[in-house]
A and B are shown apart, each in its own frame.
Chain A
Amino acid sequence: MALFILRRIAVMILTALCLTFIVFFLTNLYPNLEKLAKTQGNFRMSDGEVESYLAKNGYLQPVGVKYGQWLGVLPGYVIEDSAGVTRGRCIGPDISPQDAPRRCGVLQGDWGYSTVFKKDVFEIIGDKLALTGKLMFWVMLLMVPSALILGVLAGMREGSRTDRALSTVAITTTATPEYVSGVLFIAVFASTAVGLKWFKGTATSAMNDATFENFFLPVLTIALYGMGYIARMTRASMAEVMTAQYIRTARLKGVNFYNIVVKHALRNALIAPFTVIMLQFPWLLNGVVIVETLFNYKGFGWTLVQAAGNNDIELLLGVSVISVIVVLVTQLISDIGYIYLNPRISVS
């Protein structure tokens, strides 16, 4: 088991390197850098000035070298410009060239400086991730149990009235994208259009003090969409398990219906949806982009939008690193959980 996890972690690191390199390469394309130079300097810079700005700040080194520096495995660049000022990747306003460390990159905890928020990327991401984590936690808490209950109830008697009713609900919710349901919810529950002013249309205040009133709508918007999807999966899996021969065995052993469902069917029926639930984590990361923007909740997704809209390369890179890690870690957890749920798979 330990060996399995170790191997999986090794593969994860490799994947993370590949993915971050792709993002790094794309964000460091020349037009991007040109734009960066112009926003940092001034918009009327000539091509020559842009070039010298970029050269001064180490942007014109080969991509591989830059990536290595960003990662922190290669020593950061040190450039002495015509005016005799020594500039370097690791040299900041309050660090003199003599004291500066040789390497400063992601591995050293130096994630760069956000040009939009004028703060350290690491700090921003930490704050925003906590906010989004809070949102996700409540989404999962609402989505997973309700989806499983819905799916199991629908699947345990396939074709019954309950099944058809619950399936209709599940299909409807999963067929409605968040930007539709979000707008609808705001219109119905938070605006004067309908008049039911039960909830608040913005979740900005929930960042510090989440209450049912200001937080329920964004949570519901994300949860509903995923819920329908998981419920459909659970239902299909449950319906299949209920026709299995070992369920007949249990029935003819005299086990009552409740225990058949709970003791015999449930664990087998959860194997397939479990993977889907774990796949929801990465999906949630992009789902929050829309919902956070819609409800003006300044979390991770909102930050991503800001970074991308303002060509904030370092922040964008930081966000992508975190996203990659979240995706890979949840998939590792999903594989380990799968082994636990399905005794036929053993890792020795």
Chain B
Amino acid sequence: MKEGKIAPLKWEIRMAKDAYDGPILEISNLSISFFTRLREIPAVMDFSVSVQPGEAVGLVGESGCGKSTVALGVMQDLGVNGRVVSGSVRFKGRDLAEMSAEDLRDIRGNEIAMIYQEPMASLNPAMRIGKQLIEVPMIHEGISESDAWARALDVVNDVKLPDPERILKSYPHQLSGGQQQRIVIAMALMSKPSLLILDEPTTALDVTVEAAVVDLVKDLGKKYGTSMLFISHNLGLVLETCDRICVMYSGEAVETGSIKDVFDKMQHPYTQALFRSIPLPGANKNNRPLKAIPGNFPLPHERPDGCNFGPRCDYFQAGQCDGTSIPMAPIDGDDRHFTRCLRYRDIDWHAPIAASAETAATNPGKVILKVDALKKYYEVAANALFGGSAGTRVVKANETLSFEARESETLAIVGESGCGKSTFAKVLMGLETATEGAILLDGHNIEQTSIERRGTQTVADVQMVFQNPFDTLNPSMTVGRQIMRALEIFGVGKTEQERRDEMMRLLDLVKLPREFGDRMPRQLSGGQKQRVGIARAFAGGARIVVADEPVSALDVSVQAAVTDLLMEIQRKQKTTLLFISHDLSIVRYLSDRVMVMYLGHVVELGTTDQVFAPPYHPYTEALLSAVPIADTSIEKKHIVLEGDVPSAMNPPPGCPFQTRCRWKSEVPDGLCEKQVPPLRDLAPGHQIKCHLAQEKLEQMEAVIKVAAE
């Protein structure tokens, strides 16, 4: 009898799930605040967006703009301090705020599912994958464990994971990052939800893996007819995945509309500034430099009156923009295209970018750094924690690296995680010593000299700018003191006063106000910290600077400014810049030569033009195809790499890339599996490590094409 009571209820819910045909999600005038002891911090203000059935809406903005708060608001999971202050979130017509905890639980995971940024952290480390998956339908549909298991097998198959049985029986840490993210996606799809919220789902992944995951999400969205709310800071990704876009700035939506309208006919100065600050094909450090957005992102409690973007806006008009709060205005003639700008009608959106200073290309000078057949092998115990009972294994982190770098040249080292680019940086810096081969700095061998044994001059000559500016400054020492400490170590300046003056000069060099010398690192923003990092690196007049992903931890609007700063200092000081990155857009923008690495091997080396145009190494081709580009006029060839990067502990025989190469069948006799290809010259200065015959290479088409106007 009891069951009879429950069954119709379930059935009604199911009916509702199928029968409803309005917008899936309707957020109207939503405001969310976090309450601290000090004050109320508004995180999201007057935010409206609606998601139609089967539609994918992108939510774009810099960190701290409130996009993740919107997602948690939809989930009604704002924690103890967060609260919806006004507005409503309606899911299939029902107001989520008015639902009981039980009703909410019914919807979570069942009707609305979420995919998270860090897959490893979002999976329970002490629970087998299968158990975490089958839990979803067992809770929501009350199906038996064996039925749920069968469905889990199906879904894991759908997310294209090999050997589903084995995967379901493993623990999260036994899978790679890409596989974990696929599991998180599978978990979200277990109950066939109507709405999928993706919160930066690929930020933690490598580009080629990201491309595969994005592809998968798009396909599955179509297959299951799921609506999507796609949160990202990457405009290119949103272009590839979404139908509509909503740009957020400092807690507000500033522009919403279809992808085409917003990308091609933007109506808000922030959107425009954002597009101008990201390196698109065609941008070039010499004749078409990026345009950084001036100033900093306002803190939530320091927002200006009127338009939040006002203080950083080129079109700002005192009296008009800093008065009352600004409503969203519809753009006539476009489909649901809104902008939060009072002056959008007055602005000439087609005006060319204000001519920024063109600079002459620098000519590379004499060879400063020469790397010859450098090898770095690590020996690791097979079982690090409980001793090496099974002997040691060798990780070949770098295999015969050979290249030269000249004065005032930018050499980019590109590759995915585990390709050995950071290992090379460590050997160069002297944090590790080489196994074989040579590194010559001005003709002197330094590959076997660890940093403690290097002379002051060598240490000052080879410096590094680190990836994460947040961790690399001592939190309990003023910025000025840290720079002066570096000066002291490099032997610059005889007295404290001289070093102080030099420190001030360095702050000027990196365009930080002089009073920053007395500030603590915590008072600085990410971009400012990175400038301090750059000042410290250049303190001893460094001639070679290794920049290890110097901007990847920074927000888009700040990236351009920091990149430009690096370029400017390089021009002045004739520094050799080794720019390590996985971001091909920025590499194309600023480097003179590019070295592509895969599993410790250099697979391609050439000038930027040579590397970015066919013929490519097959890996370069895939890498280029994987990078999302935020330009609607770009046509990209679609190449998705299967599987993951093999472990450096157990590399495949023959060519390192053969397990994922789409050209492998073009090489006769299975040569790829037998022999590591030799490095051969295609053109002067253009080397490639591939077995493909010359005529095959010439058949390659360009991956990125600008569509005919």
Contacts and interface: CB of A to CB of B under 8 A. Distances in A.
A280 to B, nearest CB: 23
Nearest to B389: A3
A276 interface: no
A282 to B, nearest CB: 23
B125 A253 contact: no
A132 B680 CA distance: 78
Contacts of A268: 124-126
B116 A254 contact: no
A27 B383 CA distance: 42
Interface in A244-285: 244-246, 248-256, 263-264, 267-268, 271
Interface in A1-51: 3-4, 7
A249 B116 contact: yes
Interface stretch (B102-110, B226-234, B412-420): B102-110
Contacts of A250: 124
A342 B124 contact: no
B187 interface: yes
Given A251-B77, A254-B108, A264-B127, A244 B389 contact: no
B122 A246 contact: yes
Contact of A344 (B109, B121, B173, B386): B173
Contact of B118 (A3, A4, A245): A245
Nearest to B382: A348
Interface in A297-348: 341-345, 347-348
Chain B contact patch, size range: 20 to 34
Given A245-B122, A248-B77, A254-B107, A343 B187 contact: no
Contacts of A267: 126-127
Nearest to A271: B126
B638 to A, nearest CB: 31
Most central of A7, A254, A271, A342 by chain B CB within 10 Å: A254
Given A245-B116, A344-B125, A254 B385 contact: no
Contact of B386 (A252, A264, A342, A347): A347
Given A254-B105, A255-B135, A348-B383, A264 B124 contact: yes
Contacts of B124: 246, 249-250, 264, 268
B36 to A, nearest CB: 14
B123 A249 contact: yes
Contacts of A343: 125-126, 171, 173
B134 to A, nearest CB: 11
B696 to A, nearest CB: 44
A267 B125 CA distance: 10
Contacts of A253: 108-109, 113, 135-136, 139, 187
Contacts of B171: 343-344
Contact of A341 (B121, B126, B139, B383): B126
A8 to B, nearest CB: 9
B75 interface: yes
B114 interface: yes
A248 B114 CA distance: 10
Nearest to B187: A253
B181 to A, nearest CB: 13
B120 to A, nearest CB: 9
Interface in B553-603: none
A244 B386 CA distance: 28
Nearest to B184: A249
A60 B125 CA distance: 60
Interface in B370-408: 383, 385-387, 389-390
Interface string B231-257: 000000000000000000000000000
B218 interface: no
B151 interface: no
A347 B77 contact: no
A254 B126 contact: no
A3 B388 CA distance: 12
The 6 closest A-B pairs by CB, nearest first: A253-B109, A254-B109, A245-B121, A254-B108, A246-B124, A343-B171
